[in-house]
């Protein structure tokens, strides 16, 4: 009996796990708690800057050289220009 229950539990886990979708972006969404607009994301120790909409989807990406790492500031101007600070990946 234990063998049958264990086998059933394992089979159910494998079947249901194979149909699950990976979540990307926003996992909880409450429209009344979100302001209109976009979020500018400049991740730590990553060379790229991302513009996200309020659903967490990437609207635009700015790519920097892989030898650069972010500083502390990134600004998006009204005309679409991006102003950011960065530093070299390796200090010599």
Residues 13-69 pLDDT 10s: 666 655 555 555 556 667 777 777 888 888 877 778 899 887 778 999 988 887 777
- Identify whether 1 is part of a domain: no
Q: Looking at residue 19, what is its pLDDT? A: 58
Domain count, the chain: 1
Judge whether 74 and 40 are in contact, CB under 8 Å: yes
Give the whole-angstrom CA distance, residue 34 versus residue 52: 13
Q: Which domain holds residue 74?
A: 25-88
- Identify whether 58 is part of a domain: yes
76-81 long-range contacts, Cβ below 8 Å, gap at least 24? Answer: 76/40, 76/51
Residue 16, phi then psi, degrees to nearest 5 = -70, -35
Judge whether 69 and 43 are in contact, CB under 8 Å: no
More confident residue, 27 or 2: 2
């Amino acid at each position: 009996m234990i063998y049958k229950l264990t086998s059933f539990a394992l089979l159910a886990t494998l079947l249901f796990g194979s149909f699950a979708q990976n979540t990307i972006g926003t996992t909880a969404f409450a429209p009344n708690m979100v302001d209109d607009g976009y979020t500018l994301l400049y991740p730590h120790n990553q060379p790229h800057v991302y513009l996200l909409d309020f659903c967490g989807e990437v609207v635009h990406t700015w790519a920097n050289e892989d030898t650069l790492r972010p500083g502390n500031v990134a600004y998006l101007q009204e005309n679409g220009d991006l102003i950011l600070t960065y530093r070299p990946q390796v200090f010599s």
